[in-house]
């Protein structure tokens, strides 16, 4: 199967690497766009038998049965409108700020149009990959890259996309706590190993919980007057959790203003 990639950024590069490092992806060939030549060249160098860097975006479309649209939102319409897509082609859009109806108005009629939210850790064959509408071919194709979840509508996908925006704040939280550990005597490696393992274990505990109330109880079930209670109360009294929710609100507003 030939898969085109319009826009060779972090997410699309992670998808290609995930496919090319899994035995199920050995029969896939990727035609990637020339934009971001450094990333495109790195993919071709890593997987010379499976990745071809095209000279033009139209060449990507012409060579492919499925086309991943991984363009920056402000540039998407300008790039997509001049391209000639075939009615028997399938497109998967990763473009955050534009819904399927708008995307298809730019590409013209296609066989299947899918909207998807993959994440960089698909390269490691882990984590969620949400999309809509539900499609058996899509689930089979992306199954090696993580947990594929179909949602019934773009509004729900926008909700997940909003929650996904916490990825950068989460990484910065790890960085800040590691820097604090270094300021208090730990080496960079020790602090990073500890905090990444710590958060991984916390996530595993939350994933095993039957519902969100059980997760809340994990917070509440701490020693009275203990260290965890002290830290939680300090953050809560300062409105720390409110800032996270407000950040999600502004992302949600941005996404839904474009629908």
- 214 found inside a domain: yes
Please list the residues that pair with 115 across neighbouring strands: 93, 132
30 and 54 share one domain: yes
Domain contains 215? yes
Considering the domain architecture, whether residues 137 and 38 belong to the same structural domain is answered as yes
Helix axes 100-107, 73-80, angle to 10 degrees: 30
What CATH number is associated with residue 193? 1.10.3730.10
Angle between helices 188-208 and 212-220 (to 10 degrees): 130
pLDDT digits (tens, 9 = 90+) for 172-220: 999 999 999 999 999 999 999 999 999 999 999 998 999 999 988 887 7
160 is a domain residue: no
Which range of residues forms the domain containing residue 41?
2-152
Distances (CA, A) of 77 to 71, 80, 96, 100, 104: 9, 5, 13, 13, 10
Query: What is residue 217's predicted lDDT score, i.e. its pLDDT?
Result: 85
Supply the pTM of this predicted model.
0.85
Distance between CA 214 and CA 32 in Å, rounded? 45
* Residues 27 and 68 placed together within one structural domain of the fold: yes
In a domain, 162, yes or no: no
- 243 shares its domain with 215: yes
Measured between alpha carbons, how far is 14 from 36 in angstroms, rounded to an integer?
14
Position 57 in a domain: yes
127: in domain:
yes
pLDDT at 223 > cutoff 80: no
> How many structural domains compose the chain?
2
pLDDT per position as a tens digit, 148-171: 999 999 999 999 999 999 999 999
Same domain, 136 and 200: no
């Amino acid at each position: 199967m030939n898969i085109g990639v319009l826009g060779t950024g972090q997410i699309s590069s992670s998808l290609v690497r995930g496919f090319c490092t899994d035995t199920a992806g050995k029969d896939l060939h990727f035609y990637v766009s020339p934009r971001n030549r450094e990333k495109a060249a790195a993919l071709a160098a890593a997987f010379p038998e499976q990745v071809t860097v095209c000279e033009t975006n139209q060449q990507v479309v012409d060579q492919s049965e499925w086309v991943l649209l991984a363009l920056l939102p402000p540039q998407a319409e300008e790039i997509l409108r001049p391209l000639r897509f075939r009615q028997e082609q399938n497109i998967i859009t990763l473009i955050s700020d534009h819904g399927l109806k708008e995307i298809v108005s730019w590409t013209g009629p296609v066989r299947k149009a899918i909207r998807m939210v993959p994440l960089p850790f698909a390269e490691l064959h882990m984590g969620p990959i949400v999309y809509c509408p539900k499609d058996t071919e899509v689930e089979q194709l992306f199954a090696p890259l993580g947990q594929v979840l179909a949602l019934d509508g773009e509004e729900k996908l926008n909700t997940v996309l909003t929650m996904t925006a916490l990825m950068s704040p989460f990484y910065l939280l790890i960085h800040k706590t590691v820097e604090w550990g270094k300021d208090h005597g730990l080496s960079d490696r020790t602090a990073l190993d500890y905090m990444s393992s710590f958060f991984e274990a916390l996530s595993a505990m939350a994933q095993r919980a039957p519902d969100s109330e059980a997760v809340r109880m994990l917070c509440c079930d701490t020693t009275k007057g203990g260290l965890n209670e002290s830290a939680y109360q300090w953050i809560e009294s300062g409105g720390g959790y409110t800032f996270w929710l407000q950040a999600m609100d502004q992302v949600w507003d941005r996404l839904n203003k474009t629908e």
